[in-house]
A and B are shown apart, each in its own frame.
Chain A
Amino acid sequence: MTTGSARRDDAALSPSPASGPVVRGNDYGGLTPEPLDTWTATRSVSVVVPAYECQETLDLTLASLAAQTHSPTLLEVVVVDDGSRPPLVLPELRPEHTRLVRSPDGGWGPGHARHVGALAADGEVLHWLDSDMVVFAEHVAAQARWHDLTDHLVTLGYKRFVEPVPMTPRHVYDAVAGGRADTLYDLEASTRHEWIEKIMDDTEGLRLAGPEAFRVHVGATATVRRDLYLACGGMDPSMKLAEDSELGYRLGQAGAVFVPEPAARSWHLGLSTIMRTVGVVARHNRPYITDRMPVPRFRRRVEPGRLWTVPFVDVQVVAGQADYETVKATVDSALQSSAPDLTVSVVGEWSRLDDARRSPLRDPDLDRRLVVANYAGDPRVRLVDEPSPTAFPAPFRLHLPVGWVMGAGTLEHLVKDAEERRLALSLAALPGVDPASAVLRLERTASVSRALRLLAARGTASPDPDELDDLLDRVGGQRWYDAADVGVSAHVAGDVEPVPVPAVPTTAAEWRKEALAARAEARRWKADAKRWKDEARSESRRAKQLAQQVQVRSSLPRRGVRALVRRARRLTGAAVPRRAGT
């Protein structure tokens, strides 16, 4: 049991007053940013560049930033030296407002450095950029303009990975300023951020990606309003890798819409960490990510029955004046759910309970004390004084009215449908009850956060529940169920012990289905792996053939062949499917 109502989500619910139109899921198609040639910046942007022992590339990054089309008076660059030895220095060729901040003693890592930079930044918009990137002239402007449309967008820039070629900052500056940034490196020989761009291609640029759009948030290059960043709690400095993915998850739960911007082009010098050492990185990141990100669910499926820092569902039970047995029946029904990855927040006047002398049996607070005693040792039960507006950072909140018990399969049933249909809100009408007074509700945190931001922007301090549900219907969609159909029933007084159910009471048929799905997944993986291998093999064969032809017909340009061979080698080296999304 944990006590206290304050969690770090509270900040997520104090949005700034400038919200915009309603975006359904991640379909930002209704938002149209101003064309780049007519757009003028009105918001300040802070480019945050964490840097560690990379003076040479940092100089190029800053040179390209100095050549931005974005208004220089509204552009600030915060370089955070993450403890380089010797310390980094700012080169001469840099944007006018450039600051060098050093990571405070003790903290380290890119996530920590970014957070330090974000706190030091003055801009309304934060722009994450790495110190090994060279950006095109309109890179900042192309992303920044989106933030004029609404306050809960995260934009993502595009990058091509290239082998660095020695060049001077002046050369970079001239090319970028002259609109020739595309000539700096060999586009043919560069690679795209494969798994991310595949998602982009498959989802019409994330428009169809739905609640999982956040998965492509892998740091540089991306922008977000500073207040949304702070509201979702900011980078987790304790994470040394994958901190950007984890931030993306929380931004998603805070209601963010993820918008890729193809006009924000850049060169990434060298391969990304994950491209070089995919297996090792995945092994490192998995425990961190699994513990903090309950979705996508497949990561936790293989570890059933575990407890995690961020639960998949937070069940909220408002105890009110209900007696101990009733509260217990309701809470226990949630704890016995076949989807055990949950916490139960029981709302009541717990902090009022003191240890002053009392008559143990005639205590007016007796029922409340019994609840406290009953769940003292259960880490899944939290006793809170105030209901929290959302389950942030958990992706789902189930409102279970006290006096009602849910079945072992209730949650799984509702969540499955909510995921399949991408619902914001699932409702179950309770027999004999006016639906206007009590219903069972499953809410998607990301949708509720977004709806609350929109309501706050309208100046609605305490939203009418109908108004909130109207918005939830628009940001995601809603669906009604019948309580009995999803296994919810009224608690019968005197029925102290709920009917025992197996911990994971899926039926044989459901197990079979699960096994089939797993097998199908495995088949897909194998097919992927095979395709990659085949591709790599044929590429290397083609390269060899070409190389032989070159020996015969030396008139062929050597450079093209080298590029092909390089590409083939990379493909052979990368012949492992990258599905985990890390």
Chain B
Amino acid sequence: MPPASGTVCATVGSADHAAALGALGLRPGLLLSLEEPTAAPAPGADVPAAATVVVSAATLADLRRVLPALDRLGSATRVVVLVLDQGGDRLAVPGQVDPRVAVVGASAAPLAGSAGWRVEVRHAGPVPAAPVVRAAVRGTGARPWRSALGLRVGLLAPVPGDWVPADPLARTVEAAAGPVDRPNVDVLLVPADGAAPPGAPAVTVPAAPTWRELATAPSGRLRSAVLTDERAVPPVDDGVLNPIGFRAAGCAGTGELAGACDGSGWVVRQEGRELRRLPADGRVTDADVRSLRGLDAVDVRWDRSAGPASAVRVVVQLAAAGVPLLSGPVPSWAVRLLGPAVVAALTATRWAAQDELGREEHSVRLRRAALAGHSCEARWRQLLAGSALPVPPPRQVSVVLATRRPDMVGFAVDQVRRQRGVPVQLVLVLHGFSATSPQVVDALRELPFPHEVVERPAQEVFGAVLNAGVRRCDGDAVAKMDDDDWYGPHHLADLAAAQRWSGSEATGSAADYVYLEPLDLTVRRAFPSEIYAPYVAGGTLFVDRQALAAVGGFRSVPQNVDGNMLRDLHAAGGRVYRTHALGFVLRRTAHGHTWSADLTYFLRGRGPQWRGFRPSRELDADVRHVPARRARAAS
């Protein structure tokens, strides 16, 4: 039993916690591991309150997955949270967690000599440590933080917190503790072999097959009975395992993902050199991903090390993070666990060496498939499918499409019509012409999603015109699309996903691809992507509707409407995230076919150029929309 003034240290993830604690002068009276999910109080840590509770996590991913099990830490006057390897893109000091107990000191600082950080809060008296840690996790900026579709999840021990990363309302529940505390638990996640206590609807995690089961099951029907689908694999924590930090250029060498020789997990090797070791449970952390960012690709060997679910888990986590994985034929035991989309993306055509574009396209497809099948949101939809629990509908996106040109309405509406993977509402704003124009009537015929048409007078400034459209939006997010640019079918879905995992208020792409009509030329201006950046191309603006409303919508100005809005958003503390630019092509035309000086800007870069209309394969351009080659006069 530690003295009341003692220090309780809880650790998670594999790192040299003792050294880190020592460096900070923290001498734990009690050291416990949070790896075993249990709601049982730490021995001696609850009564009486410890003076200090320290939670030391190897990475942010580790910290996010143990939130449900923190209640056992009890109370303390001083709570210290350590993340030993950098995580999150910001550091915020948590506020008061108990209105009755004042905060007497709080700090947040990077750790000296390492990439990690430390958050510390002192209260006037003992407060529960768990809320302070949860607030620190929220403060990192990494999202999402309600991972189970907004439901309060109870995890029946030993189901680990991996199923609800960073969710502050999830709790670990002991079967022995009797009926579930209903108002605090909407749904109970039960291990395959566990018996659910009464009190709340339960969802069972399907058991993943083991090597033994796979090996002993006879082929054919019995064997397929052993195989389960994605639901047996814990979801990807897309708040930390996401494409942020993906490098489109300057990578070298192919690594190889294989089972460790000693059977202790997985190893990423490059030319015999071990780059990174991954644990047998298949947990990948943000630090693992960072260490692999410099690789061109990682070849998946599908070794029978650890378990089948562990192998699949490693693969989908790396895939979701945008690590370009390559694979030969996927073994039959992995096919159903991965899901068809991930299998297809994994085994798609390889790209040539130094083909940075081919590499990026592969990464984009793979991460899209992995996140669509294995993100927390996707997993919870799969788990709850067929249950009586209310499942919220997917977030709707309202597209505001303002145009002055009746001739472009058909083309522009087609760009919206081809969007996949996200519910759309179209708000078509006609700037100076009528909804009865034949082009408008034609374009809106048999539109498979709800739409609104707004007419605005020609003399109204563009910002006001857009605001008129925004007022008619019902979606959770507002996407601005231009009337003459090309959009790939995943444009909106990718932006919506990027907004979710980046936790930003606005997302968009750079205008990387530009088609110069007078030259019949496509240029690419390699802007950095997968970063937080102040600006995105106006035609790709995707903003949270409430955040847009909070800054007062677009300014009523004729020009640079998007830039001004983003600046306002920034000033209000919002973030803008720039994702990949493969699904967007900016069109630049000239008047009367002559080359004009305002286009020279696009020829200045050192980036690649292609003759003709040559977008990324991601754009998947519709032949009807490919510009016809100009009939050139003989020179």
Contact = CB atoms under 8 A, between A and B. Distances in A.
B100 to A, nearest CB: 68
A433 B611 CA distance: 19
B630 interface: yes
Given A465-B635, A485-B603, A435 B629 contact: no
B604 to A, nearest CB: 6
A439 B635 CA distance: 9
B634 A434 contact: no
Query: Interface size for chain A: under 10, 10 to 19, 20 to 34, or 35 or more residues?
Result: 20 to 34
A436 B635 contact: yes
A271 interface: no
A431 B609 contact: no
A466 B635 contact: no
Contacts of A429: 518-519, 595, 599, 603
A434 B594 CA distance: 4
A438 interface: yes
Interface in B156-185: none
Interface string B586-601: 0000001111110110
Interface in B72-113: none
A428 to B, nearest CB: 9
A431 B633 CA distance: 17
Contact of B604 (A433, A473, A485): A485
Contact of B633 (A427, A437, A480, A482): A437
A430 interface: yes
Nearest to B602: A482
Given A466-B629, A473-B611, A435 B604 contact: no
A481 interface: yes
Interface in B523-573: 523
B609 to A, nearest CB: 5
B609 A478 contact: yes
Contacts, number: 65
A240 interface: no
A476 to B, nearest CB: 12
Interface string A414-436: 00000000000001011111111
A482 B611 CA distance: 16
Interface in B583-635: 592-597, 599-600, 603-604, 609, 611, 629-630, 632-635
A480 B603 contact: yes
Interface string A434-449: 1111110000000000
Q: Which of A429, A464, A482 is the most central at the interface, judged by chain B CB atoms within 10 Å of its CB?
A: A429
A465 B596 contact: no
B458 interface: no
A470 interface: yes
B124 interface: no
Contacts of A484: 597, 600
Contacts of B609: 478-480
A438 B593 CA distance: 12
Interface string A461-490: 000111001100100001111101100000
Nearest to B610: A473
Interface string B177-216: 0000000000000000000000000000000000000000
B603 A435 contact: no
Contacts of A439: 635
Contacts of B603: 429, 480-482, 485
Given A436-B593, A470-B611, A480-B609, A465 B634 contact: yes
Contacts of B518: 429, 434-435
A432 B594 contact: yes
Contact of A434 (B599, B611, B633): B633
B521 interface: yes
A465 B593 CA distance: 18
Interface in B468-515: none
Nearest to B601: A482
B519 A480 contact: yes
B635 A431 contact: no
Nearest to A427: B519
**Residue of A430, A435, A465 with most partner-chain B CB within 10 A:** A435
Given A469-B611, A478-B609, A481-B603, A433 B632 contact: no
A201 B595 CA distance: 45
Mostly, the A contact residues are mixed
Interface in A216-266: none
A480 B521 contact: yes
Contacts of A431: 594-597, 600
A432 B635 CA distance: 16
Interface in B296-321: none
A485 B600 contact: yes
A432 B595 contact: yes
Contacts of A437: 633, 635
B355 to A, nearest CB: 14
A431 B590 CA distance: 11
Contact of B595 (A434, A464, A465, A473): A434
B593 A434 contact: yes
A148 to B, nearest CB: 27
A464 B611 CA distance: 16
B631 to A, nearest CB: 8
A421 B228 CA distance: 52
A429 B604 CA distance: 12
Nearest to A472: B611
Contacts of A485: 600, 603-604
A309 to B, nearest CB: 31
Contacts of A438: 635
A437 B634 CA distance: 7
Given A473-B611, A479-B609, A481-B603, A433 B595 contact: yes
Nearest to B518: A435
A79 B633 CA distance: 54
A4 to B, nearest CB: 25
B154 to A, nearest CB: 60
Contacts of B521: 480
A463 to B, nearest CB: 11
A482 B519 CA distance: 11
A482 B635 contact: no
A564 to B, nearest CB: 33
Nearest to A438: B635
Contacts of A480: 516, 519, 521, 523, 603, 609
A552 B586 CA distance: 80
Interface in B397-455: none
A432 B593 CA distance: 9
Contacts of B523: 480
B134 to A, nearest CB: 54
Nearest to A441: B635
A434 B599 CA distance: 13
Contacts of A434: 518, 592-595, 633
A478 B599 CA distance: 18
B611 A435 contact: no
A246 B611 CA distance: 34
Contact of B596 (A432, A466, A469): A432
A202 B130 CA distance: 61
A262 B392 CA distance: 67
B635 to A, nearest CB: 6
Interface in A15-30: none
A435 B633 contact: no
Nearest to A462: B634
Contacts of B604: 482, 485
11 contacts: A431-B597, A432-B595, A434-B518, A434-B592, A434-B633, A435-B519, A436-B630, A437-B635, A465-B634, A466-B632, A481-B603
Given A427-B519, A436-B632, 19 more contacts: A429-B595, A430-B595, A431-B596, A432-B594, A433-B594, A434-B595, A435-B519, A436-B635, A437-B633, A439-B635, A465-B634, A465-B635, A466-B629, A478-B609, A478-B611, A482-B599, A482-B600, A482-B603, A485-B600
5 tightest CB-CB pairs across the interface, nearest first? A482-B600, A429-B595, A436-B632, A434-B593, A482-B603
Interface of A: 427, 429-439, 464-466, 469-470, 473, 478-482, 484-485
